[in-house]
Amino acid sequence: MKKGWGKIFVILIILITPLLLFLNESEKSTGLSKKDKVEEVEYLCKTIEENYPFLEVNERLTGIDWLSKKESYLYS
């Protein structure tokens, strides 16, 4: 009976250890600073404005002016 519980215990340890390691790694934040996020959104909007040829067509079809919403993207 003891051997059976020992095997179960070893299997549980083998299964739980990678999960705990993954959760520990996912908690570490290597995200962007607020300044970096603002720069990224500004770059994205500039790139879309300069390179997306159907921006006005999209606005006509959807009624949404995406570039005018830049401020809401910056502070969300």
What are the sequence ranges of the domains in the chain?
1-30, 31-76
Say whether 16 sits in a helix, a strand or coil: helix
**pTM of the full predicted structure?**
0.52
Mean pLDDT along residues 30-43: 84
Q: What is the pLDDT of residues 6-32, one digit of tens each?
A: 778 788 788 888 877 777 665 555 678
- At 17 the pLDDT is 82
Asked if residues 70 and 48 have their Cβ atoms less than 8 Å apart, the reply is no
What residue type is assigned to position 18 of the chain? P
* Phi, then psi, of 25 in degrees rounded to 5: -65, -35
